Structure formats: C-alpha cells, structure tokens
Amino acid sequence: MENTYYAIGENLLNEFYKDGIEGVIDGLNKIAPHIGRYIIEGYGQYFSNSILNHQQREMVTLATLISLGDCAAQLKWHINFSLNIGITPNQIIEIMTHCIPFSGFPRSLNAVNVAKQVFAEHGLVVEVIDELKNESAKFEKGMAKLEEIEGEHGRAVLATLESIAPKLGENIVTLTFGEIYSRTALTLKQRQLVTIGSLTAQGNCDPQLNVHIHTAFNVGLTDEEIIEAILQSALYVGFPKALNAINVLKKIKTS
C-alpha cells in the first residue's frame, strides 16, 4: 500500500524546495534513511492539514527555531523554504523581531545574521522601515495595545510586578506592545502564532503560554488553530514541550 503522507510530502517539497530536500535526504541516506522518511512524512501529514496554511505553518516553524537557538543550519533551510512559499523577507525579519521579548535579543540577532546570509545568496535587497522611530508616548500606546489584545490577563501580569520590578513591567509594555505589537508587518493573528511557537520551544513557560493563549483567542484564533501551531512546533521541539503546551490549553478550556 502506498504511503500517502510520504507521497504528499515528497510532492510538496519537490515543488517548493527540491534542492533543499534532496540535500537533506542525501546526507541521511547512508546513515539514517529512516529519519529522512520521517521528515518527508511529517511534511505530508502536517502540510496537508488546512487548519493552518503553508505560510502560517512556516511562521510557527521560524519562531520555534529562532527561540530554540543553536539551529542555524535548520533556520537557514527554513528561511529558504519560507521565501519559496511566499513569506516575504520583511515578514521573516519581523518574526525575528517579534521573538525578542520572548526569547531575547541574542537569539534574534543570531537569526537575523542567518537571514542576512540567505538574502545575500538570493540577491535580495531588504529595507525594513523603522516605522515607530520618531513616535513618542510608547508606554501609553503600549498600554492601549495591551488592553486591546490581552485585557485582564495582561493587567494581571503587570500587577504582579508592581511591588518588586515595576521597571520590568514598564519595559514589557513599551517594547512588547508599544513597539513590536504596534508594527504592521504581521497581523495580530500571525503574531500570536509566532508567540505560541516561541513559548512552546522554550518550555517551562506555562504562565506565559496561559496569557498568550488567552490573547490568541482574543485576536480571533480558534482552538484548532492553536492546537495546530503547537503540533507544528512539536516537530522541532519534541513531544514533552508540546504536551506541556497542550496541557496549558486544556486547563484554559476546562476552567
């Protein structure tokens, strides 16, 4: 009987990144051919599911790899794949920017350097506009954005910081919401998919996942889309971290 997922995955990868997948499979054939089969079957299974489109899946994947760190080779492969399926260079840089509050500047800077290499190989000239450079009152703007998308859950996070680290709360509001969430290169739904990928990748982020899954609902993502984002991330972070993320969603749904 034909392995349907394998056939679907093979067709998809041959269509969008034939050279890239051939390089991966050739490198595995002499030592671990079964792993190459797992990769192709994974693409066949996940990308044939229409709950998330190809671009959304790759946005989650990029966020996952950025937030894991130490994945330069895999990140380079997926930046190439992302370009081939229609994610723009500006969106790729924006995903790396969005990950800063969740996984830190060093991992995002490393990712930008990988992207810079890929763009140079493609002859792409990327000019990302610093669209909020001269805007004032970013704390006030951030509070308005936090209220819009997180509401009581965002306010609760700030309240826990008031007595011990109010400056951290101020920085969260100003950078995360006044700056990054206010940029226009990604939609709010795309940003929450990226956030879920980043937090799932790091593990031990249950309180933050709790807040951002609520935010995902607030911006219009469905249960199925959130689950699918976690499943997409699972391919790269492993089952334990994915199970932890699913358990956070389960507790939200049963509370």
Contact 126, 114 (CB under 8 A): no
Q: Check residue 1 and give its pLDDT.
A: 38
Q: Check residue 3 and give its pLDDT.
A: 74
| Residue pointed to by tokens 């066949």 | 44
The percent of residues in the chain predicted with pLDDT above 90, rounded, is: 93
Q: Check residue 255 and give its pLDDT.
A: 83
Q: Check residue 134 and give its pLDDT.
A: 84
Q: Where does the pLDDT of residue 214 fall: very low under 50, low under 70, confident under 90, or very high at 90 and above?
A: very high
| Residue pointed to by tokens 């000019």 | 127
**Helices 4-29 and 33-47 meet at what angle, rounded to 10?**
140
Q: What is the DSSP letter of 53?
A: -
C-alpha to C-alpha distances, 61 to 8, 32, 71, 82, 197, nearest whole angstrom: 19, 23, 12, 10, 7
| Helices and strands (H, E) in the chain, number of each type | 14, 0
Per residue in 45-65, pLDDT (tens digit) is 999 999 999 999 999 999 999
- Is the dihedral angle over the CA atoms 17, 22, 27, 31 positive or is it negative? positive
Q: How far apart are CA 255 and CA 56, in angstroms?
A: 28
Q: How far apart are CA 227 and CA 233, in angstroms?
A: 10
- Is the dihedral angle over the CA atoms 185, 138, 100, 57 positive or is it negative? negative
Q: How far apart are CA 101 and CA 155, in angstroms?
A: 17
Amino acid at site 158: L
Per residue in 105-131, pLDDT (tens digit) is 999 999 999 999 999 999 999 989 998
Three-state helix/strand/coil letters over 222-243: CHHHHHHHHHHHHHHHCHHHHH
Q: How far apart are CA 248 and CA 215, in angstroms?
A: 13
Q: Which one, of 205, 233, 231, lies nearest residue 66 by Cα?
A: 233
| Residue pointed to by tokens 């790091």 | 202
Q: Which one, of 7, 29, 96, lies nearest residue 59 by Cα?
A: 96
The percent of residues in the chain predicted with pLDDT above 70, rounded, is: 99
Q: What does the buried/exposed string (b/e) look like for 217-250 if buried means 16 or more CB atoms within 10 Å of the residue's CB? A: bbbebeeebbbbbbbbbbbbbeeebbebbbebbe
